[in-house]
Amino acid sequence: MTIQKQKQLWLAAPGTILVREDVPVPRPGRGELLIKVKASLTCGTDLKAYLRGHDLIPMPGPFGHEFSGIVTAAGPGVRKFREGDAVMAVHTAPCLSCPYCEKGLYNLCEKIMGAKVLGAFGQYILLPEHIVAVNTFKKPEALSFEEAAFLEPLSCVVHGVERLGTGSQKKASSKKTKNSKNKTDETALIFGAGPIGLLHLLLLKARGVRVAVCALESSRLRLSKQLGAEAVFKPDGFKGPLFARFAPLGADYVIECTGRKEVWEAAPQYVRRGGSVMLFGGLKKGVPVVFSSSRIHYDELALAASFHFCPEDVRQAYRLLAERRIDVSPLISGTYSLSEAESAFKKLAEGKGIKYVIKDGKR
């Protein structure tokens, strides 16, 4: 292999990103793929690590895990891919042999986080055999590399929405009105209009669910409307009649995407009796939360959490993107080179933008 070194971003410490140009380019072993990264995306986990550190992103070290690219070299035994293939992948795959995998709980695999791949903010990334075999796909020509890089976050969102079972509820009445065409009777309220909240919006809309979004930032509420939200609110907007008109009994589903303790605790207030609350946004480790026991018990609420994804979630996310059943391009706020990437994180820290593309070369 003629390529010896690459440029790669390393997170040295919270608030400090290094642009290293001396990182060795690995040689693919059996079943592995070396990928030339064409586009990588910022995400909330990266931002948390940049601002305060993160247990799942060791420092100092490479980071970035949402990406797409082109196969530069394939190791012995690879049959599905060859040099020059455009591909999209996620950064993990289950071991398929631990007790949780044997139960089909692939997202809770005992080895999945320890064997994850970081370093998408670089020129090359090596995909190990277990990811190549399960969670790597050829990129359709019509799908841009930037859109293909959404495979990982969309897989996470698919996993959470699958747990809710949206789109499957039967209509209470067989009567239809002009406004009910191509819709279910289901409603969802999303707290948070960051990348994950907006991906939930796109997926739920694709399933025919009527969606409302609550967020602090006016610009993100405007984007939510553009993406199909039927109603948008700031936190104090619930005092008026708008939410009551949207969901008189309360929403069928409430999805928490802010990662704020106070929103976790408030979320069950807005779901109907017999409804479901998805606690998607992660809190800091060890933070306690308090819910009303009588509300949960007597109104028979279902509280669920969502972590990571299973291979079937990745396959479903791939189909959604490949068949262009959802359009993720409005979530891209701009593009930065590797050398300029810290500017993107500073903007995100200021609440500016949704997701930024990081790629090798000039903007």
pLDDT for the residue 240: 65
Higher pLDDT, 3 or 231: 231
8 Å CB contact between 156 and 196:
yes
Q: How confident is the model at residue 243 (pLDDT cuts 50, 70, 90)?
A: confident
Dist CA 345 CA 1 (whole Å) = 33
Q: Does the bond joining 60 to the residue before it have cis omega, within 30 degrees of 0? A: yes
Residue 220 one-letter amino acid: R
Asked if residue 312 is part of any domain, the answer here is no
- Give the CATH number, domain containing residue 196: 3.40.50.720
> Per residue in 304-321, pLDDT tens?
999 999 999 999 999 999
How many Å separate Cα 27 from the centre of its chain?
A: 29
15 and 113 part of one domain = yes
Domain count for the chain: 2
- Domain around 166: 159-305
139 and 170 part of one domain = no
On average, the pLDDT of the chain sits at: 92
Bridge pairing between strands 355-359 and 231-233:
unpaired
pLDDT exceeds 50 at position 361 = yes
Q: Which residues contact 223 (CB under 8 A, 6 or more apart)?
A: 193, 198, 330, 354
pLDDT exceeds 60 at position 9 = yes
141 and 203 part of one domain = no
Bridge partners of 126, per DSSP, are: 34
